Structure 1
């Protein structure tokens, strides 16, 4: 007798979904999802209740549909009624995965909060002298307008330099410096200048490693 092959029930349905996302073969689907072709065969045969949720999640992601949509597409009402125990296990596994996801999100949020607190704490330590001495210096300056500002500058300058150094931030050039105009690093405040012409720094700019934070503001000499 001739060897007659019967069509697998959900083959055409799966091929239609694959075509929508540009996947041409079951082997290509297997590679894209990172699951075995045997698992794909189970899906085609309507044996979805025998498949792990992890596998279904991978397939639904590649097919660009939700897990619920995949289950609905390859399950029937009769199947759900006949296989109550496996279905309940499947739903329980989905619930467990959701709880694990929520727990991971909470942990990430807590880690962000801890990192932010550590950053704030280290920054406050670097600015300690400014925090402790600046209010007193400002009060004395108000009480005595004749107090030379040069005596107050170090209170601000030194902690700021420590903080910038700790963060790997450095000035492009000091205020008052004369240098060759570079439009990549310098911003003209007034006038016109060609690259290479002398300009004077009015407000310093900053680099963090190779990243430009702020261009230095300059004016033609």
Structure 2
């Protein structure tokens, strides 16, 4: 007789319950806020409290701090990628629609809200930046940002000597708190710094940048 009921076929992974998915999302969001403010040493007990879950629930989803840190960074990268793709949609498939530089401007200011620079201290020697999901997400981000820059450049609105690595590195540095300053204080001034940087990206350029463009390949080269 054929089996009945709702048991998943052997070899398949049953879908997560909706409440488990919500708990996981809340934990990742709370951890992102805590890591951005207190660094990688943020209390896991505090993260569970912020997420409105018990410690056992946190550890059921994330057995150690490293696993949670990877999930936070992955979530931030994916959100920034979504912002880049939204900006691409705003300036049309080939640079039409909105001014490509204004779309780039909205992307940069939106990406800064993710406070990616505040997470940089977590990316130490023990952080696996080549973890497959994170590596794939990073490539999607770089592709979307590279296309956004290309459209602004083709429209004559972006200086010719700036590259993807220049932009991503600047967003990271300009959203990284100074020693002794927390993120809340940083946000009062980061908009000014980002605007100064964006004005420097506009074409025609009023200066010549020293050295070579920070391409993604150059940033990854070890020599």
Give the TM interval when normalised to the shorter protein.
under 0.3
- TM normalised by structure 1 equals 0.24
- Identify the structure with the greater strand proportion: 1
Larger radius of gyration: 1
Structure number with greater CO (CA < 8 Å, separation at least 6) is: 2
- TM normalised by structure 2 equals 0.23
- Identify the structure with the greater helix proportion: 2
